[in-house]
């Protein structure tokens, strides 16, 4: 049986979830996982003594015991328990992160489109410079040893028209 964060966060079927202390969340996880003979099942599953399991169910687990429980139970214990401590199920967190990544991807596409439009505009203006820009370009080329610059530079570097 898989226990969810919502099951840990709602106590006795109450409709309002609440955030819990780590030790309380582990105790609630154990009670929901093993409704009868909880301490016996918890001690076997998590590799702790029955007395330690009884203390866990009271919310009195040491740091070493909490670590042992999380290691023994793995992600199936850690994720719902930590979700109950934070007050948010892990699946909700991941859904929000996916939505955020999608919004950022949309913004990146918009920025790419704006950059492409600006590059096309620059290319169009460079292709037809006009009379005053022609004179300025000729003066720059006369002073320069490298020849064409700006938009023409990639063609020059690639071995295109020189």
156: pLDDT strictly greater than 70: no
Q: How far is 135 from 55, CA to CA, in rounded Å?
A: 88
Treating both helix axes as pointing N-terminal to C-terminal, what angle do 50-57 and 63-73 enclose, rounded to 10 degrees? 100
pLDDT at 88: 85
Show Cβ contacts of residue 57 under 8 Å, excluding neighbours closer than 6 positions. 27, 30, 31, 38, 39, 42
Tally the C-alpha atoms within 13 A of residue 130's C-alpha that lie toward its C-beta. Answer: 4
142: pLDDT strictly greater than 50: yes
The mean pLDDT value of the chain amounts to: 81
pLDDT at 38: 95
Tokens of 132: 């005053």
131: pLDDT strictly greater than 80: no
pLDDT at 162: 46
pLDDT at 21: 87
Neighbour tally for 87: CB within 10 Å: 12
pLDDT at 112: 93
Q: Is 17 helix (H, G, I), strand (E, B) or coil?
A: coil
Return the exposure string of 70-85: e unless at least 16 CB atoms fall within 10 Å of the residue's CB, then b. Answer: beebeeebbbbbbbbb
pLDDT in tens, 52-74: 999 999 999 999 999 999 999 99
pLDDT in tens, 90-121: 888 899 999 999 999 999 999 999 999 999 88
Show Cβ contacts of residue 111 under 8 Å, excluding neighbours closer than 6 positions. none
16: pLDDT strictly greater than 50: no
Q: How far is 53 from 37, CA to CA, in rounded Å?
A: 11
Give 126 or 28, the one with higher predicted confidence.
28
């Amino acid at each position: 049986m898989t226990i969810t964060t919502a099951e840990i966060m709602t106590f006795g079927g109450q409709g309002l979830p609440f955030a819990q202390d780590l030790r309380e969340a582990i105790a609630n996880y154990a009670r929901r996982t093993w409704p009868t003979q909880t301490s016996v099942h918890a001690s076997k599953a998590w590799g702790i003594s029955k007395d330690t399991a009884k203390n866990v169910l009271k919310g009195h687990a040491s740091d070493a015991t909490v670590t042992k429980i999380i290691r023994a139970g793995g992600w199936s214990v850690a994720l719902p328990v930590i979700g109950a401590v934070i007050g948010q199920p892990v699946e909700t967190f991941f859904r929000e992160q996916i939505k955020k990544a999608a919004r950022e991807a949309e913004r990146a596409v918009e920025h790419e489109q704006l950059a492409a439009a600006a590059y096309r505009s620059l290319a169009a203006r460079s292709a037809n410079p006009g009379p005053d820009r022609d004179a300025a370009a000729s003066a720059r080329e006369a002073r320069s040893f490298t020849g064409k610059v700006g938009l023409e530079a990639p063609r020059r570097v690639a071995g295109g028209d020189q």
